[in-house]
Amino acid sequence: MKKEQQLAHLILEKVGGRDNIIQLDHCMTRIRLSIKDESLVNIKELKQVPGVMGVVEDDTLQIVVGPGTVNKVADEISKETGLKVGEVSADPGLTAKDRQAALKKKNSTPIKNGLRRIGNIFIPLIPALVASGILNGGANFAVNAGVDPTNTIIAILLLLGGGVFAFLGILVGWNTAKEFGGTPALGAIAGIIIINPALANITLFGEELVPGRGGLIAVILAAWFMAVVERFARRFVPNSIDIILTPLIAVLVVGFTTLIVIQPVGGWLSAGITDGINFILDIGGVVAGAVLAGFFLPLVMVGLHHGLTPIHMEFINSIGITPILTILAMGGAGQVGAAIAVFVKTKNTRLRTTIKGALPVGFLGIGEPLLYGVTLPLGRPFVTACMGAAVGGAFQALTDTAARGIGVSGLSLIPLIDDNKFLMYFLGLVIAYTFGFIFTYLFGFKESMADNLDS
């Protein structure tokens, strides 16, 4: 039996069997299961399964198995359950009320649910953003090093790397409509309306329209409104002409509303967010950098960090760079330092094995395996990791580093650093590693914490 197949089998065993799963999904590091009967899930034994780096109980049961592995394990679970990724079980004994109860936890709040929805919009786009960002960053790195930008290979790399960012509004519109129960293609049209270069040829109420105004915030608002109008129209349009009339009504209503209301509002919100964060960084300086970096891991802990993606993209859309990504990336770096300190001090074989497996991807900016497998379960190392991150974040704010793309952090972010400040960003990583290590080694870990993990 293959490693991933065995891991999938054990996971199913600990969550109550294949018939106890309503829905199967995954992100970059986590298997996400919607559970029918939560009383059948043995969380303690699930955490002890070899290969499981952590378990998060949220609106879905999230099982951290790490990048790469997550795709293979999801495929194996899909084979055993017969559920495709994203598909909801057709179990006749499961009512709509049961599904809703299984998908919603008591601690849900409108803010958390809103951020989760934003995460659901952007998480599927992360592989494309990562690949494009690295290609774009590598090509620009070569240009900065003196390579002729008209070189055919460089031009092709810039084409491959820049495409997703040029047309990202279409993908975001598609996912937004899908998330809010609308037709994805109509959501894509909402994105096209926002970014269409033809807007520059139109004057409305004496004002020239601007392609891209409002950025992804306007796209999300327009695609959401498209889903709302579509669902509303479908309630009244006869079935015989629904396929013709409903999308026509939705596109006309949303199209004009977008140009008259949504784009101006989106532009105002976008400017407010970017100007506000820039003001905080300008005024707060190193303190602001320390606070932002120090509190980033708690966002990752509850899976809400993807809600920041539109902010990064708005910065890139408006000024070409995001000045907060390099600061927030220190969260993962502080955690790497903390994990190394734990590895040096502990004699617990299981904990050392977990750290060895999670450290390589931790250096590359994927911190969830370390978070759920090491620092968070131990408790105090999570706090000292945040402290190390704060020191690194302060340094990044002091040196004004910024990134030209998103989707990666850690060492992987180096090619995307703006203004040739690659060394400054790397020094910030080293500082966060170092202080995360020092704080954890001195007062963040003792062997009894590791012993408690096995109890």
Active site residues: 27
Contacts of 276 (CB under 8 A, 6+ apart): none
How many Å apart are CA 263 and CA 256, to the nearest integer? 10
How many Å apart are CA 345 and CA 380, to the nearest integer? 14
- Of how many residues is the chain composed? 455
To which H or E segment does residue 455 belong?
A: none
Q: 30-35 and 21-26 as β-strands: parallel, antiparallel, unpaired?
A: antiparallel
Distances (CA, A) of 153 to 143, 149, 160, 393, 420: 11, 9, 11, 36, 22
Distances (CA, A) of 14 to 25, 34, 40, 49, 372: 17, 14, 8, 9, 18
Q: CA nearest 320: which of 396, 248, 416, 385? A: 416
Q: Which one-letter DSSP state was computed for residue 64?
A: E
Half-sphere exposure of 263 (CA within 13 A, CB side): 23
Work out the number of other CB atoms within 10 angstroms of the CB of residue 70. 20
How many Å apart are CA 191 and CA 152, to the nearest integer? 31
Contacts of 345 (CB under 8 A, 6+ apart): 441, 445, 447
Contacts of 396 (CB under 8 A, 6+ apart): 289, 293, 326, 327, 329, 330, 424, 425, 428
Question: Which amino acid is it at 434?
Answer: T
SS (H, E, C) 272-317: HHHHHHHHHHHHHCHHHHHHHHHCHHHHHHCCCHHHHHHHHHHHHH
DSSP 383-414: HHHHHHHHHHHHHHHHHT--BS--S--GGGGG
How many Å apart are CA 208 and CA 200, to the nearest integer? 7
